[in-house]
Amino acid sequence: MVIEVGQFKIETRTGTIEAPAEYMNEQGNAKLDRILEGRDQVFNMSSHLSPNLHTAILVALQTDFAAWRGMRLTMAELRA
């Protein structure tokens, strides 16, 4: 089964995640590592609000991605 949240998809049988490569390389992989290691406090406090663990992970990544992208867009506007 594939679950999709925003720009992120996970194949639940394999755990394979599809995501924006630039984000994942810059900070997404570190975010995912913190989640999987139980060190992401926001995830730990909010994951129970999602219907399942896979969706909770995707929501956390999508939320972080939106903040990351927003900051990049803001910085680009400030430089223009």
1-58: per-residue pLDDT in tens?
Answer: 999 999 999 999 999 999 999 999 999 999 999 999 999 999 999 999 999 999 999 9
pLDDT band at residue 80, thresholds of 50, 70 and 90?
confident
Residues 64 and 27 sit within 8 Å (Cβ to Cβ) = yes
pTM value is 0.93
Spatial distance between the Cα atoms of 20 and 50, rounded to a whole number of angstroms = 22
Segments in the chain forming alpha helices (H) = 21-23, 29-36, 41-46, 53-79
In order of 17, 27, 35, 59, 78, the CA distances from 7 in angstroms are 10, 15, 18, 10, 25
